[in-house]
Structure 1
Amino acid sequence: MPWFALELAPYFMMYTNLMTYPLKFRQHVLAIKEKEKLTYAKTASRFGVGMASLMRWNRRITPFTTHNKPATKIDMEALAQDVATYPDDYQYERAQRFGVSAQGIRHALKRLRVSRKKNTSASQS
């Protein structure tokens, strides 16, 4: 196991399931790169990260935050009432009633944890 993995193990244990590397790790990697005058390729192989990531970190060290915001156009209570009133309607029909896109309705239904209707019996053909 490389020395840096032991040194930075507490940081990785906190961030094992996230897609981004912690800020402290990014700063450490770039500091080592500057201190030892390493190339991007050597730094990438030493720390096990991609060269594109290193170049991105060099431009902007802090990771982007997510943009979680509630739906602004769709009233979630009205949508829940619409689903209860018209359970067999297609999403594009709901979208027309609410004046939004079908994709917007799909995302709103996902937030409400409403799945597509499934037939429990086979169709008569």
Structure 2
Amino acid sequence: MTYCRQFRQKILNDIANGETWRAVAKRYKISKFTVYSWIKNPHPKGFTERKPSKIDDEALLKDIEQYPDDYQWESARRFNCSQSAICYALKRLKITHKKRL
């Protein structure tokens, strides 16, 4: 669960004003380890960008049309990637296992 920046700043201000981090954690009913990690790194991390997929969506759709009964590992061999990459690409395209288009 993430907390808003204002809440995080409020807690850090309380600690800067002399309260202990354990007392602040108890008062706001959050984990003391969360407060401790905020003291060590006061700025939120944010989100990381996912790498773009190696698998072209159109090529995968053509492959599924051409070989509808193949297993994911067989498609992975043709695309030179892992079976899990095929699984994620099929999820992204909202295609379930072994369905014809």
TM-score (norm 1): 0.71
**Runs of 4+ residues over 6 Å off in structure 1:** none
- Check the 8 A contact 1:71/1:108 in 2, yes or no: no
- Check the 8 A contact 1:23/1:61 in 2, yes or no: no
Unaligned runs of 5+ in 1: 1-18, 119-125
Task: Give the 3 Å change call, closer, same or farther, for CA 72–117 of structure 1 in structure 2.
Answer: closer
**Aligned Cα root-mean-square deviation (Å):** 1.7
Residue 31 of structure 1 and its aligned partner are, at CA, apart by 0.3
Residue deviations 1:4-43 (CA, integer Å, cap 9, x gap): xxxxxxxxxxxxxxx21111110111101221x2222211
**Aligned counterpart, 1:54:** 35
Matched, 1:21 2:3: yes
Counterparts of 1:65 and 1:74, CA distance in 2: 27
Return the letter of the residue paired with 1:85.
Answer: Q
Matched, 1:73 2:54: yes
- Structure scoring higher RCO (CA < 8 A, sep ≥ 6) equals 2
Residue of 89, 96, 99 corresponding to 2:80: 99
Task: Give the 3 Å change call, closer, same or farther, for CA 87–71 of structure 1 in structure 2.
Answer: farther
**Aligned counterpart, 1:87:** 68
Counterparts of 1:96 and 1:58, CA distance in 2: 48
Q: How many residues align?
A: 99
Unaligned runs of 5+ in 2: none
**Aligned counterpart, 1:34:** 16
TM-score (norm 2): 0.85
Residue 108 of structure 1 and its aligned partner are, at CA, apart by 1.0
Return the letter of the residue paired with 2:86.
Answer: I
**Aligned counterpart, 1:43:** 24
Residue 70 of structure 1 and its aligned partner are, at CA, apart by 5.6
Return the letter of the residue paired with 1:20.
Answer: T
